[in-house]
C-alpha cells in the first residue's frame, strides 16, 4: 500500500508536523470520518502507546471511476504498528470496520475489541482475507485495561444491534467517543442509549467528548424505529405481486420488521446477495434476529411459489452499480422486474449517492415497479442523533472540551454550535478534519499540527497503487475519449515517412475528420526535422500539441491523446 502517493483529503498548509507529545498529554489524530461520511478511524496516543477506535471505509463517488473502496491512510502509523495496543470497534457498519482487513494485513496480531455481533461480522469478513484475528469480546458496563488506556464501554442505540461508546481514561484525562448513536426511547431490542452511564461519566468529568455529528443539522428528535412497522404493513397489504426490499446488509432491526410483516401476510422471504445472506445468518445464529420456522427460503425455490407470496431482501439501497437492486433495474439480474412488483428502499440517502439512487428508482419504475422510498413513505428513520438529542446529551455529559466527529463540514460546524449552546466554551470546541492532530494537555484540547491522511484507493486487488493522476486519466477517458496518433519517422533525418494514422474512440470525432489535421502534423514534423529535433519523445510531445490544439479549436474538447512515434 502506497499511502504516500495519495492526495491529502483535507490539506492544511498552515499546519506543520505536530511537536513531540508532552509526557502528560493525550494525542487524538483522526485519520478518517471528519469532513466526510465514512472511513471512520481515530488514533489515540499516550505514553508512546496507541489505541485505535474504528477503521472503516468510504465508498467511491462518480468522479472516482473504477474504485471499489477508499481506505484511511495508514502512513502516519505504519512505522508504529508495534505500538498499537488494540483496535476498538464501536459497531459493525462498513464505514467503521471495513478497513480492518487492510490494516491487519500489515500486522495480523493487533487485538480487535468489540461487542459479540461486531466481532462476528468482522471475523466473517477477515475469513475471506484468510486472517484469523485475536479478539476480545466486551459488552456495556465492562472495563478493560488496554495498555495505558482504561476503556469503559457504554451501550448506545443505533441502526445495528450491539453498538458501543467507549470512555478512555488516561492520566491526561478522560475522553469519551460516542461512536454512532441516537436516543430511541422505544428500541426494538429494548437496548437504550445508557444515559445514566453518560451522566455518571459526566459527574466524574469528561475532559474531551468526540460526538457523532451526522444529524446535527436536523432539528428535534429521530422518530422511533418501530414507527416503520405500520408503514411496512400497509405496503405489504396493498402489494399485488412480489415485494423486493433493499436495505443495508447490516440493518438487523429493519430486516426484523420486514420478516415480521412477511410472516403476518403469509409471504416467504429469500435473502439475495452474499453480504446479506452472510450477515443475516450471523444475526440469526447469535440470536439478534428472530425468524419463524419456514419463513426464510432459498432464492432457488422461488419459482415454486406464486408472486404474491414472495419477499426478496437484497442490497443496493445506495444505488451501488454491482449490487442486486441496480442490476435488476438494468435488466442484468436473474430476477426480472415485472409490472406490479413492489420495491421498497428501506434506507436513507448517503450524501453523494442521490443521483445513483434516483437512477435506480427510475430504472425500476420503467419496468413497471411500484417504488416505495423515503421520499414518498416513512420507510426509514435515521440511526444518528438529531439536534434535540445532541443538546439533551451534552447537558447530561457536560464535557470540558468537545470535538465533533463523523460528518461533513456542515455537520461538524452545526454540532460545534450545539455544544457551545449548552455551555461548552467556544475556545474549547475543536473542529478538526482528517489528519489534524489534537492534543489534550492540562485539560485543554487544541490543534497542534497535521499528519498525512489522504485517500488510499482499492481497485480490485490493487491497494494504494491508483493515484489522483490515474483517476484524472480515467475521468478524461470517460468524459472526452481518446485519440491515438501513429507516425513513422526516418531515424537519420527525422522526417516523417508515409502518412500519420489518427483514430478516435469515445471522443465524438469521426476518423475522416482528421484528414484536416494530417497536413498540419506533417508540417510540424518536417519543421522539427529542419531544426534537428529527431528524438521520438520530443516528436510525441509535438504530435500531442498539434492534434490537441486542432481538436480544441474545432470541437472545444480535450480528449486524451496518445502519440506513438516509431523510427525506421
Q: Is a pLDDT exceeding 80 seen at residue 497?
A: no
Helix residue ranges, H only, 188-323: 195-204, 227-238, 252-264, 274-285
How much is the pLDDT for 61?
Answer: 65
Closest CA to 223 of 375, 347, 383, 395: 383
Compare 462 and 77 and report the one with higher pLDDT: 77
Residue 323 has pLDDT above 80, yes or no: no
Please, which pLDDT band fits residue 282 given cuts at 50, 70 and 90?
very high
Task: Give the lowest-confidence range in 47-56, 157-166, 422-431, 457-466.
Answer: 457-466
User: Which of the two residues, 235 and 526, has the higher pLDDT score?
Assistant: 235
On whether the CB atoms of residues 467 and 473 are closer than 8 A, the answer is no
Residue 479's pLDDT is 65
What is the predicted pLDDT for the residue at 2? 37
**Confidence (pLDDT) at 478:** 61
Residue 10 has pLDDT above 60, yes or no: no
- pLDDT in the model for residue 51: 98
> Could you give the C-alpha distances from 486 to 310, 478, 547, 563, in angstroms and in order?
58, 22, 12, 6
Nearest to 514 by CA among 545, 559, 558, 483: 483
**Contact 224/322 with Cβ under 8 angstroms?**
no
For residues 71-76, give the mean pLDDT.
93
pLDDT for res 464? 60
Report the alpha-carbon distance of residue 93 to residue 109 in Å, rounded.
22
Q: How remote is the C-alpha of 379 from its chain's centroid?
A: 22
The CA dihedral of 431, 434, 440, 446, to the nearest 10 degrees, is -40
Q: Which residue has the higher pLDDT, 110 or 350?
A: 110
Instruction: Give residue 4's pLDDT.
Output: 35
Query: In angstroms, rounded to a whole number, what is the distance separating the alpha carbons of residues 455 and 229?
Result: 39
Residue 7: pLDDT band (50, 70, 90) is very low
User: 480-567 has which fold?
Assistant: Ubiquitin-like (UB roll) (3.10.20)
Work out the percent of the chain whose per-residue pLDDT is above 70: 90
Query: Would you state the cell numbers that stand for residue 516, as one nine-digit string?
Result: 484536416
pLDDT for res 354: 73
d(CA 216, CA 213): 5
Q: What is the phi/psi pair of residue 200, to 5°?
A: -65, -45
Q: What is the mean pLDDT of residues 445-453?
A: 94
Q: What's the distance, CA 439 to chain centroid?
A: 27
Selected from 3.60.15.10, 3.10.129.10, 3.40.190.10, 3.40.50.300, the CATH number assigned to the domain covering 27-220+382-466 reads: 3.60.15.10
Listed by start position, the domains of the chain span 27-220+382-466, 227-372, 480-567
Order of strands, edge to edge, in the sheet holding 149-155? 143-146, 149-155, 164-170, 173-177, 208-212, 402-405
Over 405-472, what HEC string results? ECECHHHHHHHHHHHHHCCCCHHHECCCCCCEEEEEECCEEEEEEECCCECEEEECCEECCCCHHHHH
- Please tell me the least confidently modeled range out of 67-76, 122-131, 174-183, 549-558: 549-558
pLDDT at 462: 57
Check residues 259 and 513 and name the one with the higher pLDDT.
Answer: 259
Q: Which of 220-224, 439-443, 502-506 has the lowest mean pLDDT?
A: 502-506
Residue 95 has pLDDT above 80, yes or no: yes
Distance in Å from the first CA to the final CA of the chain = 41
pLDDT, mean of residues 493-502? 74
Longest dimension (CA), the chain: 86
Which of 36-40, 64-68, 240-244 shows the lowest mean pLDDT across its residues? Answer: 64-68
Which pLDDT tens digit goes with each residue over 468-490? 666 666 666 666 678 788 878 77
Confidence at 553, pLDDT banded by 50, 70, 90: confident
Q: Does position 233 have pLDDT exceeding 60, yes or no?
A: yes
Residue 68: pLDDT band with limits 50, 70, 90 = confident
Q: Is 506 helix (H, G, I), strand (E, B) or coil?
A: coil
At the topology level, CATH places domain 227-372 in Rossmann fold (3.40.50)
Please state which of the ranges 28-37, 243-252, 558-567 shows the lowest mean pLDDT.
558-567
pTM beyond 0.85: the answer is no
Instruction: Please list, residue by residue across 120-159, b when 16 or more beta carbons sit within 10 angstroms of its beta carbon and e when fewer do.
Output: bbbeebbeeeebebebeebebeeeeebbbbebbbbbbbbb
Per the CB < 8 A criterion, the answer to whether 47 and 148 are in contact is yes
Q: At which residue does the C-alpha cell 485495561 appear?
A: 145
**What average pLDDT does this structure show over 360-368?**
90
Q: Which pLDDT score, from 0 to 100, does residue 519 have?
A: 82
Average pLDDT over the chain, rounded to an integer: 87
Q: What is the pLDDT of residue 32?
A: 93
Share of residues in the chain with pLDDT > 90 (%):
57
Amino acid at each position: 500500500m502506497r499511502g504516500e502517493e495519495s492526495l491529502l483529503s483535507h490539506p492544511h498548509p498552515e499546519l506543520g508536523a505536530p511537536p513531540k507529545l508532552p509526557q502528560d498529554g493525550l494525542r487524538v489524530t483522526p485519520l478518517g470520518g471528519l469532513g466526510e461520511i465514512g472511513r471512520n478511524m481515530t488514533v489515540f496516543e499516550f505514553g508512546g502507546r496507541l489505541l485505535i477506535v474504528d477503521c472503516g471505509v468510504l465508498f467511491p463517488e462518480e468522479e472516482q471511476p473504477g474504485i471499489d473502496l477508499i481506505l484511511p491512510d495508514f502512513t502516519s502509523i505504519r512505522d508504529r504498528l508495534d505500538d498499537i495496543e488494540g483496535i476498538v470497534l464501536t459497531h459493525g457498519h462498513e464505514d467503521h470496520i471495513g478497513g480492518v482487513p487492510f490494516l491487519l494485513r500489515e500486522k495480523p496480531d493487533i487485538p480487535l475489541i468489540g461487542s459479540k455481533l461486531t466481532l462476528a461480522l468482522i471475523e466473517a469478513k477477515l475469513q475471506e482475507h484468510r486472517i484469523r484475528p485475536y479478539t476480545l469480546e466486551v459488552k456495556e458496563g465492562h472495563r478493560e485495561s488496554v495498555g495505558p488506556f482504561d476503556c469503559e464501554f457504554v451501550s448506545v442505540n443505533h441502526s445495528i444491534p450491539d453498538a458501543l461508546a467507549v470512555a478512555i481514561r488516561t492520566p491526561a484525562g478522560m475522553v469519551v467517543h460516542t461512536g454512532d448513536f441516537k436516543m430511541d426511547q422505544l428500541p426494538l431490542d429494548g437496548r437504550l442509549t445508557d444515559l445514566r452511564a453518560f451522566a455518571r461519566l459526566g459527574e466524574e468529568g469528561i475532559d474531551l467528548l468526540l460526538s457523532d455529528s451526522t444529524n446535527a443539522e436536523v432539528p428535534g428528535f429521530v422518530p422511533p424505529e418501530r414507527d416503520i412497522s405500520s408503514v411496512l404493513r400497509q405496503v405489504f397489504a396493498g402489494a399485488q405481486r412480489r415485494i423486493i426490499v433493499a436495505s443495508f446488509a447490516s440493518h438487523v432491526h429493519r430486516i426484523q420488521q420486514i420478516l415480521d410483516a412477511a410472516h403476518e401476510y403469509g409471504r416467504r422471504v429469500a435473502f439475495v446477495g452474499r453480504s446479506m445472506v452472510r450477515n443475516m445468518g450471523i444475526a440469526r445464529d447469535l440470536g439478534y434476529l428472530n425468524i419463524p420456522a419456514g419463513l426464510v427460503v432459498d432464492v432457488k425455490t422461488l419459482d415454486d411459489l406464486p408472486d404474491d407470496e414472495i419477499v426478496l431482501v437484497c442490497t443496493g439501497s445506495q444505488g451501488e452499480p454491482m449490487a442486486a437492486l441496480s442490476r435488476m433495474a438494468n435488466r442484468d439480474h436473474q430476477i426480472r422486474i415485472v409490472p406490479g412488483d413492489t420495491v421498497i428502499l428501506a434506507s436513507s440517502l448517503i450524501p453523494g449517492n442521490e443521483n445513483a439512487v434516483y437512477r435506480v428508482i427510475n430504472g425500476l419504475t420503467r419496468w413497471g415497479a411500484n417504488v416505495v422510498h423515503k421520499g414518498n413513505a416513512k420507510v426509514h428513520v435515521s440511526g444518528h442523533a438529531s439536534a434535540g438529542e445532541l443538546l439533551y446529551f451534552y447537558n447530561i455529559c457536560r464535557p470540558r472540551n468537545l470535538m465533533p466527529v463523523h460528518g461533513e463540514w456542515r455537520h461538524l460546524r452545526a454540532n460545534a454550535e450545539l455544544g457551545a449552546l449548552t455551555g461548552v466554551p467556544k475556545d474549547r470546541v475543536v473542529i478538526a478534519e482528517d489528519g489534524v492532530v489534537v492534543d489534550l494537555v492540562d485539560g485543554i484540547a487544541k490543534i497542534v499540527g497535521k499528519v498525512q491522511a489522504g485517500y488510499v484507493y482499492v481497485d480490485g486487488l490493487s491497494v494504494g497503487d491508483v493515484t489522483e493522476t490515474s483517476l484524472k486519466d480515467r475521468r478524461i477517458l470517460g468524459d472526452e475519449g481518446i485519440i491515438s496518433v501513429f507516425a513513422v519517422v526516418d531515424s537519420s533525418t527525422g522526417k516523417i515517412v508515409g502518412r500519420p494514422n489518427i483514430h478516435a474512440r469515445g471522443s465524438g470525432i469521426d476518423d475522416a475528420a482528421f484528414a484536416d489535421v494530417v497536413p498540419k502534423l506533417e508540417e510540424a514534423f518536417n519543421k522539427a526535422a529542419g531544426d534537428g529535433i529527431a528524438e521520438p519523445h520530443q516528436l510525441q510531445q509535438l504530435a500531442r500539441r498539434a492534434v490537441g490544439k486542432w481538436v480544441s479549436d474545432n470541437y472545444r474538447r480535450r480528449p486524451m491523446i496518445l502519440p506513438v512515434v516509431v523510427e525506421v
